[in-house]
């Protein structure tokens, strides 16, 4: 989703485009599909010069973007809620790698055909699936 599309959605919902909301969206756009927690977004914004946005403002901005259908909440039941920018092309998350050391989560594309090849019987029709893969990311292996 582009910033122009966000502005249009906000206008339709009678919401203003604030600098903080624009910055939150920019962080998600620059994440390249990476799942991000509130703390991840907060740290990305704090690293930028002259941005003193509070964590509560970021939390409210994220909640609004989720309510508007621009980002999606993903909960792995590990105590850290993560969010991702909704991609218009692939709207479903079907596989996620989660680092057991640092908690980083990365969305992965896995085809139904690849999953079907793992099944003991090949005549099973897969309608949908969700896969969580736990391990240690390359940064934590060093």
CATH number at residue 109: 3.30.1490.190
> Does 113 belong to an annotated binding site?
yes
Within this chain, do residues 77 and 38 fall inside the same structural domain, yes or no?
A: yes
63 is in an annotated binding site: no
- 30 appears as a binding residue in the annotation: no
State how far the Cα of 119 lies from the Cα of 128, in Å rounded to an integer: 14
pLDDT at 103: 75
pLDDT at 134 over 60: yes
Question: What are the structure tokens assigned to 105, written together?
Answer: 């989560």
* Residue whose C-alpha is closest to residue 113's, from 97, 103, 124: 124
Tokens of 8: 């249009």
- Give the count of domains, the chain: 2
Residues 19-73: pLDDT tens digits? 888 889 889 888 877 888 999 999 999 888 667 788 999 999 999 888 888 888 8
* Residues 79 and 96 placed together within one structural domain of the fold: no
* 95: pLDDT strictly greater than 90: no
99 among the known binding-site residues?
yes
Of 87, 115, 131, the position where a domain reaches its end is 87
Say if residue 139 carries a ligand binding annotation. Answer: no
The torsion angles phi and psi of 12, rounded to 5 degrees, stand at: -60, -35
Q: And the tokens for 79?
A: 């105590």
Domain with 35, as residue range(s), is: 1-87
The pTM for the full model equals: 0.64
């Amino acid at each position: 989703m582009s910033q122009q599309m966000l502005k249009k959605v906000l206008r339709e919902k009678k919401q203003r485009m604030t600098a903080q909301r624009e910055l939150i969206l920019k962080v998600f756009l620059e994440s390249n599909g990476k799942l991000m927690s509130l703390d991840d977004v907060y740290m990305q914004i704090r690293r930028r010069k002259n941005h003193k946005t509070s964590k509560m403002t970021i939390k409210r901005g994220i909640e609004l973007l989720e309510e508007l259908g621009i980002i999606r909440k993903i909960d792995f039941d590990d105590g850290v809620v993560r969010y991702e920018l909704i991609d218009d092309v692939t709207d479903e998350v079907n596989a996620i790698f989660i680092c057991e050391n640092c908690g980083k989560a990365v969305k992965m594309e896995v085809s139904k055909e690849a999953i079907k090849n793992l099944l003991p019987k090949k005549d099973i029709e897969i309608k949908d699936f969700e896969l969580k893969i736990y391990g240690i990311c390359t940064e934590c292996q060093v």
